[in-house]
Amino acid sequence: MATVLSILIAVPLTLIAVRHRNRWPDHVIRVGSMVTFAMPPFWIGLLLILSLGLSLKWFPIAGFGEGLAGHIYHLFLPSLTIALFLAPILVQSLRNSMLDVLTSDHVEVARAKGLSEWQVLRRHVLRNALIPAITVLAVNISFLVSGAVIVEYVFSIQGLGSLLVRSVGYRDYPIIQGLSLVFALILVAVNLIADLSYMLVDRRVMRA
């Protein structure tokens, strides 16, 4: 869910940045992503609890909720916290690879066909720029899991992360061993999914 949110934040922002490359919206988004990258997840979490949770009372501040809708509702703030950490990395890598794609010939052809700049970006540049971005995303799942461990603690969610922290507190070594293996398995699985998803984005990979 954090991944979905970070993609939802990152892709439109990148499109705007590349559309207005090297002018002020680009600069604002670049500096903004640097600042959010520097924010510690546990700190964003606390501030979100304070502002959206306690002051505005839009979202619950802890717990896991009942049923699927309840889960999503309760997990919104934690996910947003991690997404804010992940999104800047995504924005930057997507921006770089889109700028690379922009220099290739098929973009000129698309422009020559008379497509609007937005259509060129969305249909011809974004799709080709996705593969490097997916790689970056997969690599950073490692950070995402790391973030989750701390964020679960902030929002007191009963998850694997808070179990890990608690068992470290009790020096429960079998649980620590098992959990680190589970985390490693998750990471390997995510990398596999990323490799497989290249095929969805780009059919040429299948033939290779």
Partner 1 sequence: MSVAAVRQPARRSRVAAEVASWSATLKIGAGMMLVLVLAAIFAPLVAPYDPFAQDFMRTLQPPSLAHPFGTDNFGRDIFSRVIFGARIDLTIGFVTTYVPFVYGVLIGAVSGYAGGRFDAVMMRVLDTAMAFPFLVLIVVILAILGPGEQNIYIAILLVGWTMYARLARAEMLVEKNKDYMTAARVLGYPGRRILLRHGLPNVIGSSIVFSMSDFVLNILLVSGLSFIGLGIRPPIPEWGAMVAEGKDFMLQAWWISTMPGLAIVYTGTALALIGDGLARRLGERHRTLV
Q: Where do contacts with partner 1 occur on this chain (CB under 8 A)?
A: 30, 33-35, 37-43, 46-47, 49-50, 54, 88-89, 92-93, 96, 141-143, 145-147, 149-150, 153-154, 164-165, 167-169, 171, 173, 176-177, 179-180, 183-184, 186-188
Smallest gap from residue 3 Cβ to partner 1 (A): 14
Report, in Å, the least distance between residue 146 CB and partner 1.
3
CB of 37 to partner 1, least distance (A): 4
The smaller minimum CB distance to partner 1, of residues 67 and 169, is found at 169
Q: Which helix (H) or strand (E) holds 161?
A: helix 160-170
Of 172 and 202, nearer to partner 1 (C-beta) is: 172
Closer residue to partner 1 (CB): 171 or 203: 171
Q: φ, ψ for residue 200 (rounded to 5)?
A: -65, -40
Cα–Cα distance for residue pair 25/43, rounded to 1 Å: 27
Give the whole-angstrom CA distance, residue 97 versus residue 179.
Answer: 36
In order, the DSSP letters of 103-136 are TSHHHHHHHHTT--HHHIIIIIIHHHHHHHHHHH
d(CA 13, CA 161): 30
Q: Return the structure tokens found at 140.
A: 């950073």
- Residue number with CB closer to partner 1 (79 or 97): 97
129/141 with CB nearer partner 1: 141
Instruction: Take residue 54 and report the two structure tokens written for it.
Output: 């306690």
Tell me the closest approach of the beta carbon of residue 207 to partner 1, in angstroms.
25
Minimum CB–partner distance for residue 52 and partner 1 (Å): 13
User: How far is residue 155's CA from residue 118's CA, in Å, rounded to a whole number?
Assistant: 39
Q: Between residues 30 and 111, which has the closer beta carbon with respect to partner 1?
A: 30
Contacts for 91 with CB less than 8 Å, ≥ 6 apart: 10, 13, 14, 17, 29, 33
Minimum distance, C-beta of residue 20 to partner 1, in the bound complex (Å) = 18
